[in-house]
Amino acid sequence: MPLTNNVIIKLNEITTIIEDKSKLTEKEIEEIKSIFRDILNSGERYDVDDIESWLENEGSWSNKASRIRVINLSHYIQDKYEQTARLRIISDD
């Protein structure tokens, strides 16, 4: 599934808030997690491979370790969201 415009806008937001892409701060990591949560809570979906490709092609993410960290955060938040979504579907019957 290709990235939607809204997801790309959020990725651009992440790119803008990160001052030093060679070293992510704890505050920046929390902001990234929050942005990925917002994407999922708004009903948007993304493929982690597409996020990886976008970061590689964007140009300013030259530090591989930082790219991998953002990709891992996107995957972590997505897995966590899907697990809690499954729990909401299961009834108490």
Residues in the chain with pLDDT values less than 50:
none
User: What pTM did the predictor assign?
Assistant: 0.88
Burial category of 92 from C-beta neighbours within 10 Å (exposed 0-12, middle 13-18, buried 19 and up): exposed
pLDDT at residue 90, as a whole number: 59
Q: What is the DSSP string of 1-35?
A: -PPPHHHHHHHHHHHHH-S-TTS--HHHHHHHHHH
pLDDT at residue 85, as a whole number: 74
pLDDT at residue 91, as a whole number: 57
pLDDT tens, 70-92?
999 999 999 999 988 766 665 55
Q: How is residue 59 annotated by DSSP?
A: S
Give the span between the Cα atoms of 28 and 87, in whole angstroms: 29
